[in-house]
Amino acid sequence: MFPGGRETSKSPITLTGRRPVTTNNAWLGDPDQAVAKRDQMRIRIVLALLAPAAIVVAAGCARFSPKQTGIQHYVQGKMLADQGDVDAALAELAEAVRLNPSLAIAYAQAGDIYRRRGDHAEARTSYEKACQANPYAFKPQYNLALTYQKLAQAANAVEGTHGYLSKAVQAYLRAIVLEPEDFETNLNLSACYFQLGKYELAEQYCKAAIELNPHDAHAHSNLGIIYDSQNRLYEAIREYKASLEIDTRQPKLLVNLGSTYMRQDRFKQAVTTFEMAAELDPDDSSPWEQMGSCHYRMAGYDEAEQAFRKAVAIDSHSAKAHRGLGVVLMTKYLLNRQDASLRDDALAAWHASLEIDPDQPDLRDFVKKYAPRYVGPEL
């Protein structure tokens, strides 16, 4: 009987957007932040497109060709988007591509607007058209891949997630052909392969990202998670430590490191690491949950109880914290059956855990096994 129940997975792979770090089963980071770095082109650059335009002068007036007029609408749309009038901007961009269906930059700008609004389906359509209009432009390919990743995150079915991630991989591979030394593309491609379960390819592109930027903490932590998922524990620890040398304030990564120590039965190192994580993020219950499990494994039942009670105090909705507390209390009861309150408190903690997460069949079995059976008088 182990406090944590199901094995806790590692904090997942980081996209190039920087943090926030979430708990163990969600993708880290926001890709939109990475895209913002790439969106530095100013209107004055686009206006240069109009300079060489062939202007037909007749009767003292100038007439622009449809393609030239399309560019003008794009410029107006870009200016409106920069000013925050996105609906008017989208109208201008729609007119731009109506007049000039091959104007890739207009499709891409519309994609940027839709993506920032959270309309990833429309963003995908716009970026796909941008890539079709100009397959040799890096930025639309990169943004299309990021959008596929967003759609994968939102997909309900496993098949949908797998499909979007596979499309993201193809878009990133096209982007890498265009800019093979782009750090973010290599790192995000590695993240896609990781989520698809293709660890060797995930490792390959994560290492490529580290070669391009050896001082990026997230790349090293990602490689550690890739190693950890393949049970290459010493290599994982090496990369976790490399990441922490670059950025010491990573409480979730410290939880990962401590969990890996536990898998090697290095419990004292694990406890120290969890304590560091708890100090960095006092509002997170997971370091205390892991600390409780670690003390339990060392038969330090009083320390384990204190850790799990601390986790419950921080997050009363943590099924794992209530479960762990119940396991510790029931273990103490089995060692001292004179104190029935320990059993009762353990069962209460288990019931609280099941109310939060009913999908714990093994815990249901524990409740049935240890709950007292009251026998009434025979009639």
Same domain, 34 and 159: yes
- Identify the pLDDT of residue 373: 83
Q: How do residues 260-306 score in pLDDT, each as one tens digit?
A: 999 999 999 999 999 999 999 999 999 999 999 999 999 999 999 99
Nearest alpha carbon to residue 5 among 302, 256, 322: 322
In this prediction, residue 157 carries a pLDDT of 77
pLDDT on residue 29: 37
Closest C-alpha to 103, from 125, 129, 123: 129
Residue 332 lies in a domain: no
213 Cβ contact partners less than 8 Å away, ≥ 6 residues apart: 183, 219
Same domain, 127 and 191: no
- Residue 130 maps to a domain: yes
Residues 84 and 137 in one domain: yes
Whether residues 156 and 37 share a domain: the answer is yes
C-alpha radius of gyration, the chain, whole number:
28
pLDDT for 221: 97
Residue 254 has pLDDT above 70, yes or no: yes
Residues 118 and 204 placed together within one structural domain of the fold:
no
Contact 343, 373 (CB under 8 A): no
Residue 55 host element (H or E):
none
What angle do helix axes 138-154 and 31-38 make, rounded to 10 degrees?
170
Based on the domain organization, do 87 and 147 belong to the same domain?
Answer: yes
Query: What is the domain-level CATH number for residue 160?
Result: 1.25.40.10
Is 202 found in the same domain as 79? no
pLDDT at 67 over 70: no
Q: Indicate the residue among 217, 248, 279 that finishes a domain.
A: 248
Q: What is the pLDDT of residues 148-192, one digit of tens each?
A: 999 999 888 777 899 999 999 999 999 999 999 999 999 999 999
pLDDT in tens, 15-24: 543 222 222 3
Contact residues for 25 (Cβ-Cβ < 8 A; gap 6+): 9, 12
Kindly report the average pLDDT of the chain as a whole number.
86
Torsion of CA 7, 10, 12, 16, to 10 degrees: 180
**Residues 78, 158: one domain?**
yes
The answer to whether residue 361 sits within a structural domain is no
Domains: count for the chain? 2
Last residue of a domain, one of 248, 265, 291: 248
**For residue 49, what pLDDT band results from cuts at 50, 70 and 90?**
very low
Q: Is 324 contained in some domain?
A: no
Select from 231, 248, 265 the last residue of a domain: 248
Is 360 inside a domain boundary? no
Closest CA to 345 of 331, 355, 359: 331
Residues 210 and 158 in one domain: no
Range of the domain at 200: 180-248
List helix spans (H) across the chain.
31-38, 43-47, 66-83, 86-99, 104-117, 120-133, 138-154, 158-178, 183-195, 199-212, 217-229, 233-246, 251-263, 267-280, 286-297, 301-314, 319-335, 340-356, 361-370
Give the per-residue SS3 of 228-267.
HHCCCHHHHHHHHHHHHHHCCCCHHHHHHHHHHHHHCCCH
Say if 159 falls within a structural domain. Answer: yes
Do 67 and 154 lie in a common domain? yes
Which range has highest mean pLDDT (62-76, 144-158, 300-314)? 300-314
- Once rounded to an integer, what is the mean pLDDT over residues 96-115? 94
**Domain-located, residue 106:** yes
- The pLDDT value recorded for residue 172 is 98
Q: Looking at residue 159, what is its pLDDT?
A: 76
pLDDT at 7 over 90: no
Lowest mean pLDDT among 3-12, 243-252, 302-311, 330-339: 3-12
